[in-house]
A and B are shown apart, each in its own frame.
Chain A
Amino acid sequence: MTSIQLAENAPAIACDALCKAYRHDGALHNLALTVSCGEAYLLTGPNGSGKTTLLRLICGLGWPDSGRISIMGTALGPLSTRVLSRVSYVPADGGYYPNLTVIRNIDLAADLSPRTKPPDISRQVARGLGLTSMLDRRAVALSKGQKKRLAIACALARLPEVLVLDEPFAHIDVPTSRDLMVGLLESCTSQGLTILMSTLAIPPQTAIRTRYRVGVLNAGRITRETTVDGPLSYQAMLSIISVDDPQ
């Protein structure tokens, strides 16, 4: 029995009036975002629009200058480790131990998560991400795309309720990223996983059957939100971004 009192029907992620500024310029301006439990939300926008900053704040890796973030109805603060253990984060780079083998990395992530997991969770996750043939290889010896898949596997092995991914398809070939995208979004509906993903583009010809939302972040604000009920073409995605790109 967890000691956290979760609010009934609370959204998985709720950001309200979020502001964050760096030394030279602001990254987020009065940003509001709500992602319901079991929903997939794709965050897109040009480079430097504040996508990574927003994801880092949601994962408790930084603090907003003002505003409020809550995960599953619990407000984030410096001592929110319990609620953060329900969130998994895939950084844009790294997220695994290069000296360890693939299976060791996934085992480590799974074992250090407080949630109860099936005993073969590591192999299940590795199978799902196409890593079965390289379980005993050291992570350092993997290609960039394989390393990215390993980082996603480590995040999934923790059986999170909220999965936050920063540019998960960088360095991954188009067919693999397409399969990964479909698999991740479909797991939202099948397992109730909430996904918040930043991406510059959806892989071309991705046939997503589930409903998801796309938010365009521009200069620290969400300037457009679109609910997509079915496939979103690469061209349509580009047009959403380009409309809001100040350049």
Chain B
Amino acid sequence: MRRLLRWELIKLQGTGLYPIAVYAGIAGAGVCLLLTKVQARYGMVPIWSDYFLTALTLVGGMLAPVILGLMASFVWGREFTDGTAPWMRMSGFGSSRVIVAKQLVILILGLLIAVSSIVAELIMGQVVGLQGFYWEIVRQMTFAQVTSIVIAWFGATWVSVMVCVFHNQTVPMAFATVTGFSGFLLKDMHWATYVPWTLPARYATLVAQSSTHDPTGALRVLNVPAVMVGLTGIVVTAVVLGLTEIRAER
């Protein structure tokens, strides 16, 4: 398994996915800082907790689902577009281990987004001199950011299903973009609980609405649907990959 994961990581060298993950986190932090400063123009004191919560909503609730979906489209879809898909069936590892290795790579890319975002938020917030810094909020928001990324990663498993059905990157990328943005827009609808791709945005909203900004309380509400979305995505990917014909040609 470790060998498979190592090669999955190596396969992405030179594709630009690692820098894109880091830049996405930094860009998200930068945009949120601007939003926090704009709020300050209307009489609100720019404080750390507002900044972190804006970043959680924007990066974890909207940016991460879209970017992770696009990355999952690429990680899976390139096997079909590069004609390397036969190795997924012929490597001798079994498709379940191949699937897990690929999903772990996507999670690692998501964690890169989360870490770069948190680090950039800390640096940018210090540079502009935000008020009300305390370490507990950093701990809470780091936990919340990572959790929202993991929830977005669960949703991205369905993008791999799309790739295995369509054998390309275009349709899954469109699916990831539409579901990522629409999830953010639909998160406040009362029926959104039943729409899997609203989960990251709903999680961010629940954390923001909590009086203590408790990230674990929000997780307790959403952990079952999030895990179910992820597990079913992985199982359906395995079934589709195992049963459909693999077109090796571009």
Contacts and interface: CB of A to CB of B under 8 A. Distances in A.
A129 B21 CA distance: 37
Interface residues of A, number: 36
Contacts, number: 102
Interface string B3-14: 110010011111
Interface string A77-120: 01101101101110111111111100010001101111000000
A212 interface: no
Interface stretch (A7-15, A57-65, A234-242): A57-65
Contacts of A113: 91-92
A56 interface: yes
Given A88-B90, A99-B14, 6 more contacts: A62-B246, A85-B90, A89-B90, A94-B84, A95-B84, A114-B92
Given A81-B95, A112-B3, A112-B93, A89 B10 contact: no
Interface in B38-95: 78, 81-87, 89-95
Nearest to B242: A78
A52 B83 CA distance: 14
B86 A111 contact: no
A109 B87 CA distance: 9
Interface of A: 52, 56, 59-63, 78-79, 81-82, 84-85, 87-89, 91-100, 104, 108-109, 111-114, 138, 151, 166
Contacts of B94: 81
Q: Which of B90, B92, B247 has the most CB of A within 10 A?
A: B90
Given A81-B93, A93-B250, A96-B82, A112 B14 contact: no
Given A94-B82, A112-B3, A61 B87 contact: no
B245 interface: yes
A59 B91 contact: no
B15 interface: yes
B249 interface: yes
B243 interface: yes
Contacts of B92: 81-82, 84-85, 112-114
- Specify the main secondary structure of chain B where it touches its partner: loop
Cβ-closest 6 pairs across A and B: A94-B83, A85-B92, A62-B245, A99-B14, A91-B248, A114-B92
A91 B90 CA distance: 13
Interface in B192-250: 242-243, 245-250
B83 A91 contact: yes
A26 B86 CA distance: 23
Nearest to B248: A91
Q: Which residue, B84, B94, B95, B248, has most C-beta atoms of chain A within 10 A? A: B248
Nearest to A60: B89
A105 B50 CA distance: 47
B28 to A, nearest CB: 26
B13 A112 contact: no
Contacts of B248: 56, 61, 89, 91-92, 94-95, 166
